[in-house]
Amino acid sequence: MKSEGVQVANDHLRSFIERIERLEEDKKTIADDIKDVYGEAKATGFDTRILRKVIAIRKQDASARAEQEAVLDSYLAALGMIESDGGEA
């Protein structure tokens, strides 16, 4: 027969496993819902690649986003793809 301490540990373990399994099921449901929304957006004519980029940008804090945009602009300017602050293309 198992000791009481072992049984409590086993019960805790089972509880953790079952909670994680439920959350994994919820996560799959949510992922499917997100996929459906992207499908609706695509059917309406929106570019889902751009939507994903917008979502990623909105997740960033303002300073990280500004820094990333500044670096991107400097790279694009160096490649002649946009005008730099100096007015040259």
* Sequential DSSP letters for the chain: ---HHHHHHHHHHHHHHHHHHHHHHHHHHHHHHHHHHHHHHHHHT--HHHHHHHHHHHHS-HHHHHHHHHHHHHHHHHTTSS--TTS--
Residue 87 has pLDDT above 70, yes or no: no
The domain limits of the chain are 1-46, 47-83
Per-residue pLDDT reduced to its tens digit, 57-73: 999 999 999 999 999 99
Instruction: Return the pLDDT at 5.
Output: 82
Per-residue pLDDT reduced to its tens digit, 20-46: 999 999 999 999 999 999 999 999 999
